[in-house]
Amino acid sequence: MRDQRGSGLRWIGEHAYQDAKGRMPGMLHGISLTAARGVDMDEFLVRLGADPEQLACGDLYTERHDLAVPADMGDVSRAMYGTCGSWLYVLEDTWAATWSLGFREVPEMDPLVGEEIICLTLNLGPGPSRILHAPGDDGRTWQAEFAESTGRNSQLDIALHAAGAVFPTAYDGKHTQEEASRYFEEHHRDISARVFGGVGDYCGLTIDRGVVEAGTLPLVLLPVPQL
């Protein structure tokens, strides 16, 4: 298993539903991920609603409470972001990922042909945790709940199966309802870790836990879409 303090994404899922006790300078619990490639970092953040002037200031996540929020932004998600290889990523520990809330309703967030977007949104409020995947070939976005595949037999689905992130069901032609229910009861606590691990394997994406906990990645303020 990878060192959870140094690499991969599995550690994010392992801490997904822990109670956050005390304050830390960065994030550890309840993190949602949006990752994209084939698009410029600042362009993508602006499409999510970021202010270019705020991005240019180079604020760190640890400074999030010292930064005044413009009155016209309304509710904001204080997020951190970075890059790994060809991927950019945005981490948020609010109740859901900004892109997951706005990609259907906010035109600027539409996935474009030639760019790939993967979003793991925990939905700590109402609604299930979801995997959203815009592969970039036709502008469409596919989605599934955690423990499911998108049903496309894509390379992402293959990686999710390999990570044990696709649970058996009574509808897969291989398991009874009793078998599927028993498997879920035995392994449901591992769902998030397996999902994040599988997506990390598919992307080859590594995010250092120590840096995220310390909050030393750049800060971006994202207005919560008003739907």
What pLDDT digit, counting tens, does each position of 188-198 carry? Answer: 999 999 999 99
Residue 2 lies in a domain: no
pTM: 0.93
Phi-psi region of 135 (alpha: psi -120 to 50; beta: other; left: phi over 0): alpha
Q: What pLDDT score does 6 carry?
A: 44
User: Domain limits at 59?
Assistant: 10-223
Residue 158 lies in a domain: yes
Residue 203's DSSP bridge partners are none
Residue 4 lies in a domain: no
Residue 3 lies in a domain: no
Residue 48 lies in a domain: yes
Q: How many domains does the chain have?
A: 1
pLDDT tens by residue, 54-94: 999 999 999 998 888 877 777 899 999 999 999 999 999 99
Angle at 48 between CA 191 and CA 217, to 5 degrees: 70
Q: Which of 34, 1, 23 is nearest to 141 (CA)?
A: 34
**How buried is 189 (Cβ within 10 angstroms: 0-12 exposed, 13-18 middle, 19+ buried)?**
exposed
Residue 126 confidence (pLDDT) above 80:
no
Please list the alpha-helical segments (H only) found in the chain.
Answer: 10-14, 41-47, 52-57, 98-102, 155-162, 177-187, 191-203, 209-214
Residue 178 lies in a domain: yes
- As a whole number, the mean pLDDT across the chain is 91
Residue 3 confidence (pLDDT) above 80:
no
Residue 198 lies in a domain: yes
